[in-house]
Amino acid sequence: MTAPSTARPRLRVGMVGYAFMGVAHSHAWRTAPRFFDLPLEVDMAVVAGRREPELRAAAARLGWRETTTDWRTLVARDDVDLVDICTPGDTHEEIALAALAAGKHVLCEKPLANTVAQAEAMAAAAAAAPGQVAMVGFTYRRVPAIQLARTLVVEGRIGQVRHVRAQYLQDWIADPSVPLSWRLDKQKAGSGALGDIGAHVVDLAQFITGEQVTGVSAILETFVHERPVADEFTGLSGSSSSSGATGPVTVDDAAVFLARMSGGGLATFEATRFAYGRKNAIRLEINGSKGSLAFDFEDMNVLHYFDASEPAVTAGFRRIVVTEPEHAYVAAWWPAGHGLGYEHAFTHQAVDLVRAIAAGDHPAPTFADGLQVQRVLDAVERSAAADSTWTPIETQEA
C-alpha cells in the first residue's frame, strides 16, 4: 500500500544560492517535516545559481525540484511563496526588495546587508508589506540551550543584566597560507569577522537579554594583509593555490568592542578568525543581579546557569544538558542526552518560519532586528575608524 499524501496547503520555496548556507537551508527544508508537525507542506520548488552544471548537481543533491540561473526568474514565479536568500551580503538588498515587491515571504541570511542604508531599505520594504514574513537568519537563536537562556531571562531568573561577555572565536584563517575567498573580500562580504561572526554574537546578546546595544568603542584589525589567490573559490574551504599569486585581504580579521546595553549593563564583544584551537566557540556569559548564564557552542547542548538565590553551601553553576523533552524543540528529536548538532538550529528556524506563515505571524528575528544589528556593526566600524571613539547607536522600539 502506498503511503498517503498529506492534504495541507503547500509552502513553495525558492532558494537563491547553494553554497554552505544553501546546504544547511536545504537540509532544514527536507528535515523539518520529518520531525515536526507543520501546518504547511514544504515544497522545495526551485533553486537559483549562476553556473549551470554545478547548479544542477547541487539541486539533485540537495533536493530541489527545479533550477534557474536567474534569481529574478525565481522571484517572479507564481509558484514560489517564499524566497530563501543564501547568497553573500552584497546581493541581499536587491533580491529581498524584489521578492517583497513580488509579494513573497523572505528568509534572508545574515548579516541582513552590507550597509545600514541597505538594511534600512530592506526593513522599510518589509514594514510596507505587513502581510509577508521577512525574517533574517540569525539561526543560533534556535539552539535549544540559547532558547533556554532566553527563557531564564524572561522568567526573571537572571535579574538586571550587569555584564555580557560575548565571543565568537574561530581559527580557520589563522594560518596565513589559507587562500582568499569571498568572505575576505569587502565588496562581497561587507566586513570580515565582524559581519560574518560578530553579527551572531551581537544578535545573541541582544536576543537573550532582551536589550539593545546602545553604544560601542571598537577596534578592528587585519593581521594578514596578503593571501594566496585560490584557483577556485569554494566557500569556506578554499582550495589551496598553485599559481603563487596573492591578493589583498580587504576585511577585518578580528573585531573587539566594548558596549553598553540598554538596561545599563556593560558588554565586551570579540569576533576573530585567529584564535588558534577555537573552532566555532560562540561564547556568551551573562551576569545579572539574580544569577548568571554561560554558553559555549563547542558544547552546544549545554547551558550553565548560576542561581544566586541558592544557599552558598550548595550554589554552583548548573551544567544543564539541554536535551530534555521540556526544552525547546527537543521533544521532536531523540531521548534525553542524545545531543543535537549544528544543523538542527536551521531545521528549527524552518519550523518556526512555516508555522508563523501559517499563523500570519512575524517570526523574530525580523528585518527590523537585522537592521538593528547592522547599526551596531556600522557603529563598530565607525568607532574603529575613529580611534575607538565612543559611538552611540540609535535604539528602536522592541
Nearest CB to a second copy, comparing residues 212 and 366: 212
CA terminus-to-terminus distance, the chain: 52
C-alpha cell at 346: 536551521
- Work out how close the CB of 164 gets to a second copy at its nearest, in angstroms, rounded to a whole number: 10
**CB atoms < 10 A from the CB of 338, how many?**
10
- Work out how close the CB of 364 gets to a second copy at its nearest, in angstroms, rounded to a whole number: 21
- Work out how close the CB of 305 gets to a second copy at its nearest, in angstroms, rounded to a whole number: 6
Three-state secondary-structure class, residue 366: strand
Name the strand (E) or helix (H) holding 189: helix 186-189
- Work out how close the CB of 92 gets to a second copy at its nearest, in angstroms, rounded to a whole number: 21
Nearest CB to a second copy, comparing residues 118 and 272: 272
Let me know: does 9 contact 41? Beta carbons within 8 Å.
yes
Let me know: does 116 contact 376? Beta carbons within 8 Å.
no
d(CA 349, CA 361) in angstroms, rounded, equals: 14
- Work out how close the CB of 129 gets to a second copy at its nearest, in angstroms, rounded to a whole number: 30
Taking each helix axis from N to C terminus, what angle separates 199-209 and 367-385, rounded to the nearest 10 degrees?
A: 120
> Is the torsion defined by CA of 347, 239, 298, 367 positive or negative?
negative
- Work out how close the CB of 310 gets to a second copy at its nearest, in angstroms, rounded to a whole number: 8
d(CA 22, CA 47) in angstroms, rounded, equals: 9
Nearest CB to a second copy, comparing residues 290 and 362: 290
Nearest CB to a second copy, comparing residues 93 and 270: 270
Nearest CB to a second copy, comparing residues 361 and 389: 389
Nearest CB to a second copy, comparing residues 33 and 121: 33
